[in-house]
Structure 1
Amino acid sequence: MAETSLEAATRSLGARIDPVFELFDYLKDVLFWVKDKKGIFRWVNTTLMLHIGRSSRDQIIGRTDFDLFEPYLANQYQMDDAQVLRGRPITSRVEMIVFHHTPRWIVTSKLPVRNASGRIVGTAGVATMAVQEGSKVWSESRLAPAMAFIKEHYHEPVSIGAMAQTCGFSLGSFHRQFRDTYLCTPHTYVRQLRVRMSCHGLVFSRRPIAAVAADCGFSDQSHFTKEFRRIMGETPRSYRRRHRH
């Protein structure tokens, strides 16, 4: 069983973890975590623990994203970590994640953890939940206007030019900013978002799969099934059967 104290986390990273981190246990809308260079969790707060359906830290510490999340999410988190380990922090990134098949908009920041000599030995991240459009934490993201646009129009044909215009960027600048922030193109992000938004309808409603697909912006069930399988690793029907209680 993995040791779950701050002292154990400090030893595993070779960097000092401040006891103030325990204060994150009292922030009910904030997720907090620390990982080493291999992507192994060394500390998480209670909110994160509960949101991924675990009852104690020792069910998370010592494990990686691939042990805890769907592969499509674990891959995204691994790419984020690789960027941060190269010394490129992620700050105030507005994004959508799925907890218990329900989409949630959050604002995420991730920083490198350094030891006493300044060498990067891991990553730390914080995500604010229950974020309202127009709030300070939302508006700190330069791409927040585009994300608000996507949030409202993801189920419709989405114009990348219109997204760029909401941020005041040229089309080329918008593409560069978006790829640097989300590690994919705007079109790819919208496709992934549509699939993630469909998860709630598949699990918590009895609507036909074709209707769920249409609600999320897919032109037909065949296209939806192809995209869903590519991102989630299984068909919508299989996902519904596996997760419906």
Structure 2
Amino acid sequence: MRLVTTMQLNLPALEMQTLFDALPDVVFFIKDREGRYTHCNLTLVRRLGRKQRSEVIGNSPLDVFPLPLGGSYLMQDRRVLCGEVIDNQLEVHLYPNRLPGWCLTFKRPVCEDNDVIGVVGVSRDLGQPDNRHSAFERLNTVMEFMQKRFGENLRVQTLADLAGLSVAQLERHFRRVFQVTPQQLLTKLRIEAAMRLLHGEDSIASIGQQCGFADQSAFARQFKATVGMTPRDYRTLRG
């Protein structure tokens, strides 16, 4: 497990914050052991609908995000404060003044003398696919297949065969072209469909089944891990 020490972090923290201010597609933050923001870039400030960084600093996710999102983000931070590393986690972020946006989140514990004293992290927006990549056409065929069949039990080997690639080649090219793995793209397609269907009248169990989840429990777990709340909470929030 790779930790971030205060020697690596404290001195350049303000410089890091300023550097990340220039990146409109990346959210950057540092939090203390209570989960309160000590540093954040202007991208996060703007997405929260705030005008000044001071409106975020000193607050926890509970103070700046609506429930149940704030609680979910705080629980994620507590896992990191216990030493867990969150790497390349696909998430949907729901900000008060923005449409839902997909990102990849990375979080690391900040340590001092072997004690975890905070969290440092970034969330990077998913960009457009790289259509200049040599494998783009083959991968685009796979993506179109997944868009039509995401409700089925798709195997990565099946997708690799469709592209005429090995599984390792498929996963490597997917990361380069789409910035995610085939499994992450499948999750993205399923969750996007579920979010649309939750605006309707179908039961949560039916929606999970339509979107390719084995049962309602598996659907609820994946939805909460990705969106930050349960399907029921999302339906209530967006209703």
Fraction of identical pairs, as percent: 24
C-alpha contact 1:31 1:127 (8 A) present in aligned 2: yes
**2:198 aligned with 1:149, yes or no?**
no
**2:36 aligned with 1:40, yes or no?**
yes
Q: Take 2:236 and 2:92, find their aligned partners in 1: how far apart are those partners?
A: 12
Q: Take 1:190 and 1:25, find their aligned partners in 2: how far apart are those partners?
A: 33
- In structure 1, what is the equivalent of residue 60 of structure 2? 64
Matches within 5 A, 1:38-187: 38-100=34-96, 102-107=98-103, 108-115=105-112, 117-132=113-128, 136=175, 138-140=179-181, 142-154=183-195, 155=197, 157-159=206-208, 163=212, 175=218, 179=221, 182=224
Deviation at 1:74, TM superposition (A): 1.0
Q: What secondary structure does 2:84 align onto? A: coil
Matches within 5 A, 1:182-193: 182=224, 189-193=230-234
Q: Take 1:82 and 1:179, find their aligned partners in 2: how far apart are those partners?
A: 18
Deviations 1:87-130 (A, max 9, x none): 11222222222223543222222211122x23211011211225
- In structure 2, what is the equivalent of residue 16 of structure 1? 10
Q: What secondary structure does 2:68 align onto? A: helix
Change (3 A) 1:69 1:96: same
Q: Take 1:24 and 1:140, find their aligned partners in 2: how far apart are those partners?
A: 26
Change (3 A) 1:104 1:162: closer
With the length of structure 1 as denominator, give the TM-score of the two structures.
0.58
Deviation at 1:139, TM superposition (A): 1.1
Runs of 4+ in 1 over 6 A off after TM superposition: none
C-alpha contact 2:223 2:231 (8 A) present in aligned 1: no
RMSD: 3.8
* Greater RCO (CA < 8 Å, at least 6 residues apart): 2
- In structure 2, what is the equivalent of residue 27 of structure 1? 23
The one-letter amino acid of 1:52's match is L
Deviation at 1:57, TM superposition (A): 1.6
Change (3 A) 1:85 1:101: same
Which runs of 5 or more residues in structure 1 are unaligned?
A: 1-9, 165-170, 199-212, 214-245
